[in-house]
Amino acid sequence: MNKSINLVSNRNEQLERELLILKIVRVVAVSLLITISIVAIGAFIFSAQISISKIKEEENATLSQISALHDRLTTYYLIKDRVRNIASIISTRRDYSKHIDAILAKTPSTLSLEGINIEKDIISVSMSGNSLVSINKFIDDMSELGKEKKILNNVKLESLSLNVKSGEYTVIVKGEAL
């Protein structure tokens, strides 16, 4: 008989499969260890190249730019609010240009305008000149505007005075704007 012939195999397939899986797991573990080591070393070198102080400087610069933009934005909204309020005031305010134009059209050339004051629909006009004739004509023209009741109403002579040093007469006439 021959002892070299073995009809029953000693090989265990289950054991061989487990050894193969163990070998694959070891290869994967070693390759992951090498990959993670390379990534960690690269991250360390990369972080060593970037200085923290440079990052802080950039952060401070960015924060100051944001602060400046915040101030600009605040100023913008404040101005926008004021413009809107001014526009609403102007839209509700009465236009006195027609009244002033009519008064100036009636002003003789020999008189000089000292001032026009408008308060609560009361227009006060102050004129000065060297001639009482010109002042009389101005007073008559203003009273005529009051009689027509198109521009002014209830025109009154407020005052008539003489500056003795300069020889100038000053007249103040008031009337209600229509």
Residue 49, domain member (yes or no)? no
Residue 111, domain member (yes or no)? yes
Over the stretch 143-168, which tens digit does the pLDDT of each residue have?
A: 887 777 777 888 888 888 888 888 89
112, pLDDT greater than 70: yes
Residue 109, domain member (yes or no)? yes
- Cα–Cα distance for residue pair 109/156, rounded to 1 Å: 22
Tell me phi and psi for residue 166, to 5 degrees: -95, -20
Residue 83, domain member (yes or no)? no
Over the stretch 15-62, which tens digit does the pLDDT of each residue have?
A: 888 999 999 999 999 999 999 999 999 988 887 777 777 778 888 999
> Quick check: pTM over 0.75?
no
Residue 161, domain member (yes or no)? yes
CATH (domain of 141) = 3.30.1360.100
Q: How many domains does the chain have?
A: 1
Residue 142, domain member (yes or no)? yes
Cβ-based neighbours of 175, under 8 Å, separated by 6 or more: 122, 123, 142, 145, 146, 152, 153, 154, 155, 156
Query: Which of 141, 145, 149, 142 minimizes the C-alpha distance to 178?
Result: 149
Query: Which of 143, 160, 134 minimizes the C-alpha distance to 103?
Result: 143
- Cα–Cα distance for residue pair 22/31, rounded to 1 Å: 14
Mean pLDDT of the chain: 85
Residue range(s) defining the domain that contains residue 161: 97-177
